[in-house]
Amino acid sequence: MTIQLDTEVIIVGAGLTGATLACGLAAHDIATVVIDRIPPADGISPTFDGRASAIAQSSRIALDGIGLWPLVKEKTEAIREIRVSDGPSLMFLHYDHADIGDEPLGYMIENRDMRAGLVQLTEKTAGLTIAAPAEIVAMNRDDGAASVTLKDGRTITGHLIVAADGRGSATRQAAGIDVTGWGYNQNAIVATIDHTESHQGIAHERFLTSGPFAILPLKGGHQSSLVWTERSTLADSFMALDDDAFLNEISERVGGFLGKLALVGPRFQHPLGLQVAKSYASTRLALVGDAAHGIHPIAGQGLNLGLRDAAALIDILVEAKRYGLDLAHSAGLEKYQRWRRADNLLMAGMTDVLNRLFSNDVRPLKAMLDVGLATVNSLPPLKKTFMRHAMGQVGDLPKLMRGESPG
């Protein structure tokens, strides 16, 4: 038996970006259906995803605007300082939030805690339907409407389909949209540690020969998320170590400033690369988040770029509905593509250059980079500009990220 469900926007993928977009659209009276292959509860399991994400100030403002921030803020840790250094060099770059105001530079949250908040919000948001677990077997997009057919026989019809189904997006591939990019021959090893000394809300980024090693503060002062970039040829051997040997490797890279360390939960690894879709829009289709772009985690901006995509699309769709336009009208989708692709390409290029410059052991080059870090650190106006970039306060921000009503 075929069941027909009519809506306005169909989002494929209920990850952090897709679910946030869905909640934001529904909160502004745009009926939305989200389709995902896994049940929402699966994404909350500690074994599903051990990563944590940085939330920039502009992203925090947007999450507050859709009602998510009150549900997750008690699970976050404020980033009060950032210290960037090149291995053992005595030269460094130090950001302190007090230099530009009272607000933190950003916040850290474990991905599963953000997913838990999104599950709460989706359950209580009117105009939002979750179809999960569900498998799409057919998709149609033409001048009149967009629709997807699910394996269980349901057909969902709307104005616009949004691909939020990750780097390997089947929705993007089905639309024939190619990507450009490359791998880094690096894997990110992710683990969580307890430590006896407080992290004091300080995030550390250390550039080692194999790649950046990040120590990111989590809630409570005595737990941190590690993102250890290692050559792909060596990552498997480190992952295969027993807990004691793995902890020894971590301790050597962390140093002694956090006191005694202990592993918490499982460890994970993810291959790293740069990927950008050649188009962010097509007939009745828009791409957001990892379906549109994937960058190196060196600057901690991956999720923030996805949240900017979501906020920008909310702006455009709310405005279209207000003026009685088709939500998938070509001018709106073209505006979205111009707006977001330029911003994402800039960040992708910046992270690519930083990773290539610092992930090496060429002494003359490393000496020049060390001097560069120290120079920026000694120039307050330039350093404040970089800090505002890290806080997501620079550029053409969507209204939600400025604390304004979209549309």
Specify the range with the lowest mean pLDDT, choosing from 70-79, 100-109, 169-178, 370-379.
370-379
Specify the range with the lowest mean pLDDT, choosing from 37-41, 223-227, 236-240, 402-406.
37-41
Q: What is the mean pLDDT of residues 165-188?
A: 97
Residue found by looking up tokens 């120590």 in the block: 215
Specify the range with the lowest mean pLDDT, choosing from 76-90, 106-120, 149-163, 311-325.
76-90
Q: What confidence category does residue 379 fall into, taking pLDDT thresholds of 50, 70 and 90? A: confident
3-state SS string for the chain: CCEEEECCEEEECCCHHHHHHHHHHHHCCCCEEEECCCCHHHHHCCCCCCCEEEEEHHHHHHHHHCCCHHHHHHHCEEECEEEEEECCCCCEEEEEHHHCCCCCCEEEEEHHHHHHHHHHHHHHCCCEEEECCCCEEEEEECCCCEEEEECCCEEEEECEEEECCCCCCHHHHHCCCCEEEEEEEEEEEEEEEEECCCCCCEEEEEEECCEEEEEEECCCCCEEEEEEEEEHHHHHHHHCCCHHHHHHHHHHHHCCCCCCEEEEEEEEEEEEEEEEECCCEECCEEECHHHCEECCHHHCCHHHHHHHHHHHHHHHHHHHHHCCCCCCCHHHHHHHHHHHHHHHHHHHHHHHHHHHHHCCCCHHHHHHHHHHHHHHHCCHHHHHHHHHHHCCCCCCCCHHHHCCCCC
Predicted structure pTM score: 0.94
Share of the chain above pLDDT 70, in %: 96
Q: What is the mean pLDDT of residues 366-393?
A: 77
Q: The domain 3-75+111-181+274-372 is classified under which CATH number: 3.30.1330.30, 3.40.710.10, 3.50.50.60, 2.40.30.10?
A: 3.50.50.60
Share of the chain above pLDDT 90, in %: 77
Residue bearing the bigger pLDDT, 396 or 76: 76
Q: Residue 363 has what pLDDT?
A: 65
What are the boundaries of each domain within the chain?
3-75+111-181+274-372
User: Which pLDDT tens digit goes with each residue over 328-355?
Assistant: 999 999 999 999 999 999 999 989 988 8
Q: Residue 91 has what pLDDT?
A: 66
Q: Cβ–Cβ contacts within 10 Å for residue 183, how many?
A: 12
Q: How far, in Å, CA of 291 to CA of 168, rounded?
A: 7
Q: What confidence category does residue 365 fall into, taking pLDDT thresholds of 50, 70 and 90? A: low
Q: What confidence category does residue 370 fall into, taking pLDDT thresholds of 50, 70 and 90? A: low
User: Which pLDDT tens digit goes with each residue over 246-277?
Assistant: 999 999 999 999 999 999 999 999 999 999 99
Q: What is the mean pLDDT of residues 136-154?
A: 94
Q: What is the mean pLDDT of the chain?
A: 92
Residue bearing the bigger pLDDT, 375 or 274: 274
Q: Residue 65 has what pLDDT?
A: 96
366 pLDDT more than 70? no
